């Protein structure tokens, strides 16, 4: 299901990459009940440093960018210098984006541009199907829930790191309440609405008003994470605070 591009000297890595890619394709095609008709270009680099120098994306690639998929020519570009489990998650995440381009936008770049789906949907869906959420990712989500900073998802348009975290949580919430088929129902309803209307897709898929979905999602997150906080205890149980407000804007290295 892939056309793979690589430097000749990296051929020893080819079988590993193809194995994970085909495994990821089988898993996603089964879970999404969808087949991509064309081969997907997959470009891999031996290290992240080499990946940062690719010319598929002509912009600057920061170290924090693990990989990317393009909505033009539907290409996956990634480094492979990581443990097997992480590489499999990375390929699943990027391949989910390729499925999105075909499944949600019919393989048409113009439709993906005019639809402009929110970041929480695009990245949250990829993180949900890849199950690539780390313990530190969950730490951020817990902290935001505890401080009651859960946004109204149906109105959330901003991107950034938190959109990934809340987006993943939204799909977990959908599955917990309506099952894996409910997630698919939402995606197919979103695809069929003109301009990708979130509110209309929620009404059609779950027979729920957007404001009720937001309220139920917030309640689900609090019921999930607040008991964990009580069970874990206060930070003062484990140590004393050694930085106060005066250190908020400082930078410190090699603490002792």
Q: In terms of Cα–Cα distance, which of 155, 173, 169 is closest to 216? A: 173
- Predicted local distance difference test score (pLDDT) of residue 255: 67
Query: Could you read off the pLDDT of 132-171 as tens digits, one per residue?
Result: 999 889 988 988 898 888 888 888 777 788 889 999 999 9
- Predicted local distance difference test score (pLDDT) of residue 194: 63
The secondary element (H helix, E strand) that includes residue 40 is strand 40-45
- Tell me the whole-structure pTM to 2 decimals: 0.86
- Predicted local distance difference test score (pLDDT) of residue 178: 97
197-231: burial string, b at 16+ Cβ within 10 Å, e else: ebebbbbbbbebebeebbeebbebbeebbeeeeee
What does the pLDDT average to over 230-255? 76
Query: Could you read off the pLDDT of 18-56 as tens digits, one per residue?
Result: 999 999 999 999 999 999 999 999 999 999 999 999 999
């Amino acid at each position: 299901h892939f056309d793979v591009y690589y430097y000749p000297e990296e051929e020893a890595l080819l079988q590993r990459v193809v194995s994970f890619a085909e495994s990821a394709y089988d898993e996603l095609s089964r879970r999404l009940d969808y087949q991509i008709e064309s081969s997907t270009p997959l470009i891999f680099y031996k290290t992240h440093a080499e990946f940062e120098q690719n010319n598929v994306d002509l912009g600057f690639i920061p170290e924090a960018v693990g990989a990317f998929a393009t909505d033009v020519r539907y290409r996956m570009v990634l480094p492979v210098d990581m443990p097997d489990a992480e590489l499999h998650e990375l390929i699943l995440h990027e391949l989910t984006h390729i499925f999105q381009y075909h499944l949600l936008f019919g393989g048409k770049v113009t439709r993906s541009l005019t639809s402009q789906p929110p970041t929480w949907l695009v990245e949250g869906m990829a993180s949900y199907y890849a199950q690539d959420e780390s313990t530190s990712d969950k730490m951020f989500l817990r902290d935001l829930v505890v401080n009651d900073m859960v946004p109204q998802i149906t109105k959330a348009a901003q991107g950034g790191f938190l959109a990934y975290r809340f987006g993943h949580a939204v799909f977990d919430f959908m599955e917990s309440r309506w099952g894996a088929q409910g997630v698919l129902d939402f995606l197919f309803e979103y695809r069929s609405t003109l301009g990708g209307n979130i509110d209309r897709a929620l009404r059609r898929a779950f027979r729920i008003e957007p404001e009720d979905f937001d309220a139920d999602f917030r309640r689900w997150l609090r019921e999930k994470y607040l008991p964990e906080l009580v069970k874990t205890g206060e930070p003062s149980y484990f140590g004393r605070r050694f930085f106060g407000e005066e250190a908020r804007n400082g930078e410190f290295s090699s603490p002792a």
